Structure 1
């Protein structure tokens, strides 16, 4: 994953109220439950065989490989407490999110003049429509490039164009992201 996806996941996981299960068997059981009982779907998420998932559920295998353990934890965190996650997304889509990032920003104005991209550290609250678009794209599995375009548009509107009060027609480009932290409001 990329910096933006990781930032969104971290913000969404901060809303969870219970820790994920500790044992591999309990984690596998929770993942299969989230997949509505489908061991085949859980295996596809983890990149292993369906039989391997069934072995964990039966308690025949106690210790996963490091790769499988990491995949199991990552995939379980994405589906853990889905109602809390959905509630947090709905609230953030209505109120907006705060983004702190250090990245290379460049822009092109309507007149055709360009500014050379440079590293900037920006902390800004994104408007609710951009927050909703960013979170919906993340939930749909959008790539890092698409998330960067949405984030650049939102930061361009709120930071560079001062929420529509100046610099009309300014297009912002975002690249070379050092870090991206998001806080759901």
Structure 2
């Protein structure tokens, strides 16, 4: 998640448009006993709402570490991809490790 100068695209993503986050990383889950899934490498591409774009850009501007930026991305993917915008799998914890790449489209 290399830093770039904030521009019109980032402002729109952070206020109304959101962003598309594509990644290849290891995902694992923690949930109620009997409902866990072993971690495995997954390719995902998911639209994230403006609030996650805003968090990512603000954290980057404040000098966040790569690990902190990855955690924001993981939180967004957990909510939107794995918990379907928190409409299912309540309480599912998502582990996001061994990140091979992350691409953000505005």
After TM superposition, the score normalised by the length of structure 1 is 0.53
Partner of 2:10: 89
Equivalences, count:
104
How far off is 1:89 after superposition? 2.3
| Equivalent residue number for residue 174 of structure 1 | 96
Residue of 40, 45, 57 corresponding to 1:123: 45
Correspondence 1:135 to 2:64? no
Residues 96 and 126 in structure 1, CA contact (< 8 A), matched pair in contact too = yes
Structure with the largest fraction of strand:
2
Identify the residue that residue 144 of structure 1 maps to in structure 2.
66
5+ unaligned residues in a row in structure 2: which ranges?
A: none
1:64-122 alpha-carbon deviations (Å, 9 max, x no partner): xxxxxxxxxxxxxx5xxxxxx2433221102111011100011112x255322110000
Q: Distance in 2 between matches of 1:141 and 1:114?
A: 34
SS state at 1:130 partner: helix
- In 2, the alpha carbon distance for the partners of 1:108 and 1:127 equals 24
Q: 8 Å contact 1:126–1:158 — kept in the other structure?
A: yes
The residue number in structure 2 matching 1:99 is: 21
Higher RCO (CA < 8 A, seq sep 6+): 2
SS state at 2:84 partner: coil
Q: Cα RMSD over matched residues?
A: 1.5
